[in-house]
């Protein structure tokens, strides 16, 4: 395993962004919903429901209301959990 990087300039130099194919949908389902058959890439439990992020095709097939559509980019770099600024720097570059 590599050593975690905390220096922002080194993080930016070292990252290798990977764009995943397709469009990903953010959907909110009520607590207690049957999510069998769904294969989300992420779930976030919030007070208003469970946010699921999944391929758009799955959301459409399941009849879920899509709140937001997005691309999925992975920044492949071993960042220190205490490092700050990488997401902001990347978002600024995309903007």
> Residue 14 maps to which CATH number?
3.30.2130.10
Please list, residue by residue across 35-59, b when 16 or more beta carbons sit within 10 angstroms of its beta carbon and e when fewer do. Answer: eeebebeeeeeeeeebbbbbbbebb
Show pLDDT as tens, one digit a residue, over the chain (95 residues).
678 888 888 888 888 889 999 999 999 999 999 889 899 999 999 999 999 999 999 999 999 999 999 999 988 888 887 878 888 888 888 77
> pLDDT at position 56, please?
98
Q: Which domain holds residue 34?
A: 8-94
Count of domains in the chain?
1
Confirm whether 1 is domain-assigned.
no
Confirm whether 85 is domain-assigned.
yes
> pLDDT at position 2, please?
76
Confirm whether 66 is domain-assigned.
yes
Confirm whether 54 is domain-assigned.
yes
> pLDDT at position 52, please?
97
> pLDDT at position 1, please?
60
Nearest to 24 by CA among 87, 74, 66: 66
Confirm whether 58 is domain-assigned.
yes
Confirm whether 3 is domain-assigned.
no
Confirm whether 2 is domain-assigned.
no
């Amino acid at each position: 395993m590599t050593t975690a990087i905390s220096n922002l300039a080194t993080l930016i130099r070292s990252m290798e962004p990977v764009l995943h194919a397709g469009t990903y949908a953010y959907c909110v389902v009520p607590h207690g919903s049957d999510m069998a058959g769904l294969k989300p890439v992420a779930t976030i439990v919030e007070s208003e429901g469970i946010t699921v992020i999944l391929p758009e095709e799955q959301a459409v097939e399941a009849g879920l209301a899509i709140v937001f559509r997005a691309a999925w980019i992975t920044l492949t770099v071993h960042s220190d959990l205490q490092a700050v600024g990488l997401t902001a720097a990347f978002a600024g570059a995309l903007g």
